[in-house]
Each structure stands twice: as structure tokens, then as C-alpha cells.
Amino acid sequence: MNSKQINPGIWPKTRKFFNDVHLWLGLISGLVLLVVCFTGTVYVYHNEIREMGAPHLYHVKASAATAKLPLDEVLEKVIKQLPGELTAVQVPHDPKRTLQLSIREQNDNSRGGTTYFVNPYTAEILGTSKDPNRANEWLRTMFSLHRWLMLDRIEKPLIGELPNRTLGSYITGAATILFTLGVLTGIVIWVPRKVKNWKQGLKVKLGGSWKRTNHDLHNTLAFYSAIILFIMGVTGPFWSFPWYREGLQKSLGTYQEAPAGGRPGGRSEKSANDSPQAPLLSLNAYLAEADKHLPYPGDYRINLPRPGAAEISLTKSKVGFFAPAAADRITLQTSDAGLKTLDLFSEKPFNERVSSSIKALHMGDVYGGFSKIIYFISCLIATSLPITGTLIWINKMKKKKPGTKPQSPKKGNTETAPDNQPTWHRVARVQ
């Protein structure tokens, strides 16, 4: 008897605490999240948008009877026209797509250098990544908003000696952490007190008042997308805070000290074990050998070694609507294309697969076009949450004004405002 009197009061108090936390998290971060989530929605399809802006760089017309030129022949024809060092070649599986050559020009400290797009049938250079492209410029603006709130475009530091890019990264990173906490608190306050009331929280009532519809849009859509929103939120600050990145890697058991001399995975200097007389074979020979160990349709990236290096590295990514973003890596001996190492993503431990997929998990291409659709919809929902949540909060504030009496529902009227719904249904105010 006593338990029946005490227990009913525990959940409402607990829920009110989480509700208040949820409210303040949203009020503090709502405006920043609106910008971050909208730009994130756009950026899910950044590759497709970029190609739409300059389709001639990515696609070629070719009949089924037309054969591609050997890769080495293409490189021989274009190498003299390139203004720098050729560091990598991307070979697509699709016969109607162009080759992409990565060129490192002198004094170029950018991460990827300049990309040259080449017709694989004629060896014609179609353009470069530096060519004017309105879609690309727009995407850069979206990315700047998403990562730094465009503070990176302001030269003079706004706070002391702190670079504006770092400041913007801190702001978006902090807002994303609050967003993740908002997702967790939102899930807690979504849970109904009675099991029989769960059904009401799984649907949006479009025929009721606008307040009820707005409330359901915030409550129900957030619930359906909660897992994806949580994944995006947890991975987001990875690029904002070194301590967060290190902590996430340590929690996954994959943390490694950064090697001296720059980013890992670049073209290393010639080592003592490298053969001084190890000329490259035909690149097609390396591709043929790689296909023996990776017998599936996919796009290749050949990372060209420095002169005299004893090995050459290739990565292969699967293609298709459900294709994972992760690539398999194979290392071959330059002298005879013999297998040296084979690194299959599917055979890695789970924690290593997660750690190496942080970017794909955040951006949505972890499972190709299929996951992009899910992420795009989830990002749209995330963009709407600060708006619908703010409207819920404003409506609550209006009802709390002195001298305002709450309206009682008319007899027989089942369409009540959110305040007249069961306690469990008065959930998330703001994301």
C-alpha cells in the first residue's frame, strides 16, 4: 500500500529534472545547432552536389565497344603537362567516370594537393579541382558554417590570440556535446509512465491543433531518429577538441601517439630497408594482382611510392547502393607485384572498425547511398528540433503568465493541447 503511494511520485520528479535539463541544454545551444544541423543536412550529399556543379570533370561518354587506354599510357601522355609530383591515382570501376590524379605542387601544404581529372579513353585533361565551380564554393561555405560558423574567414582574432577557426570549432563542438546530452535526456523524458501509453508517443497527430502537431513532431520524430542523432552527436566533437578525440580513441582501445614528422599515412621518406634499385612495374600489373586478392567490383586508389621504394600501397572501396565506406588495403612489392600485406576491413576487431569509421559514421556514408538517405532524413529532423522545441517552450511560457487561466477541454472534445495530455507526453521542449 505504501509503495503504491510513494512510487507514483518518483517518476514525475525524475522526469521533471530531466525535462528541465533538456530545456536548458536546448536554450543554450539551439541557435548554433540550427546552423550546424542544417549545413550537416546539406553536406550528406556533398559529393553528389559537387559533381552536379561540374559534371564534365567526373563523367565521360563512351560506348560499350570503346576500350580504355592502358593506365601507364595515360600517365605517359599527361605527366609532362602536370605542374608537380604525381602522388596518387584513383581508378574508378565505372567505365563512364574519369581518372583522378593527385598532384603535389611546390610549396603546396594542402592535405590532398590538386586533383586533375583525366579522360581514361583519350588521356585528355578535363580540368582540375581548382577550376571555378559554384557548387564547390557553396559547399565550402556550408562546411565553414558547419565546422567554424564561418569564423575562419575573419582574419583578426576575436578573443586574444586564439585563432578564429579554433574558436568556431570550440563553439560548434560544445554545442554538439550539449546536443548529445539533449538526445539522452529526451529519450528519458519520452518514456511513458504506463506501458499502454507508448503507442501515443509513436505517432504524429496531424488532425489536432497546431500546438499538438508541433509537439508530436518534436517528440515522435526525435524518438525515431534518436540513434542516428546520438551517433552524429558523439562523433562530431572528434574534430573540435584534442582531448575528446583522444578520449574517444582510448575508450575504443585504438589510441596511438601521433608519429613525428606529420600525418600518418603520407608518402614516407626512403628508409634503410628500401631497395635503391626497385623500378615500378606497369600499374596495370599491380591492379591485376590486387584483383586476385580483392575479387569484387570497386574503386582503386594507388598511392605512388617514392623512387626506390620497395613497396606500393593500393586501397579498394566497394561500389553499390549498400557499399560500405571502409576500404581494404593491399601492399605489394614494387619489384614483382608480390603480396606483402593484405588488410581487410571486415577482419579487423569491432573496436578498430568503429574507430576507423568515425568520419563515415558522422557524415552518413558508412553504408553508401542507403545510409545517406537515413542520415539526410535524420539531419532534417535534427534541424527542426530547435524550432519545434522553442515553440513548445514559448507556448508553456504563455500559459504561465499571471492572470491567465488554463482552458479546460470541452466536454466530449478529445483534441487537447499538449498541457492536457498525459504527463509522459509533455516531453522535449528544445533540442
pLDDT, greater one: 155 or 272: 155
**pLDDT value of position 405:** 56
Does residue 252 have a pLDDT over 70? yes
Q: Are 149 and 168 in contact (CB under 8 A)?
A: yes
264-270: which pairs have CB atoms within 8 A and are 24 or more residues apart?
Answer: 267/87, 267/303, 267/304, 267/305, 267/306, 268/306, 269/306, 270/306, 270/307, 270/308, 270/309
The mean pLDDT value of the chain amounts to: 87
Q: State how far the Cα of 416 lies from the Cα of 409, in Å rounded to an integer.
A: 6
pLDDT band at 199 (very low <50, low <70, confident <90, very high): confident
User: Which of 5-9, 140-144, 186-190, 243-247 bottoms out in mean pLDDT, i.e. has the lowest?
Assistant: 5-9
pLDDT in tens, 6-31: 455 787 888 899 999 999 999 999 99
pLDDT at residue 322 greater than cutoff 70: yes
Residue 68: inside a domain: yes
What was the pLDDT predicted at 343?
97
**pLDDT tens track for 69-118:** 999 999 999 998 988 899 999 999 999 999 999 999 887 777 778 999 99
**pLDDT tier, 121 (very low <50, low <70, confident <90, very high otherwise):** very high
Q: Which residues contact 170 (CB under 8 A, 6 or more apart)?
A: 240, 241
pLDDT tops 50 at residue 412: no
As given in the structure block, the three cell numbers for residue 169 are: 570549432
Given a cut of 90, whether residue 312 has pLDDT beyond it is: yes
User: How is residue 339 annotated by DSSP?
Assistant: E
Residue 310 lies in a domain: yes
Whether 110 is covered by a domain: the verdict is: yes
Q: What is the pLDDT of residue 187?
A: 94
pLDDT score of 372: 98
- The amino acid present at 89, given as its one-letter code, is V
> Do the domain assignments include residue 365?
no
271 lies in a domain?
A: no
In angstroms, how far apart are the furthest CA atoms of the chain?
93
- Assign 414 to helix, strand or coil: coil
Q: How confident is the model at residue 416 (pLDDT cuts 50, 70, 90)?
A: very low
pTM of the model as a whole = 0.86
Question: What gap in Å lies between CA 244 and CA 242, rounded to an integer?
Answer: 5
pLDDT at 296 over 70: yes
Q: At which of 132, 156, 178 does a domain end?
A: 132
Domain boundary among 99, 132, 165: 132
pLDDT value at position 3? 43
Residue 198 resides in a domain: no
Radius of gyration of the chain (CA): 27
**What pLDDT is stored for residue 201 in this prediction?**
76
More confident residue, 70 or 429: 70
- Whether pLDDT at 402 is above 80: no
Interacting residues of 48 by C-beta distance below 8 A, sequence separation 6+: none
Lowest mean pLDDT among 289-293, 349-353, 395-399: 395-399
pLDDT at 313 over 80: yes
Residue 175 within a domain: no
DSSP code for 161: T
User: What is residue 238's DSSP assignment?
Assistant: G
Q: What residue numbers bound the domain in which 64 lies?
A: 55-132
- Provide the pLDDT for residue 423: 34
* Residue that terminates a domain, selected from 132, 148, 169: 132
Give residue 188's pLDDT.
92
pLDDT at 165 over 90: yes
For the ranges 31-40, 217-226, 272-281, 352-361, the lowest mean pLDDT is seen at: 272-281
Q: Give the chain's domain count.
A: 2
Q: Does residue 82 belong to any structural domain of this protein?
A: yes
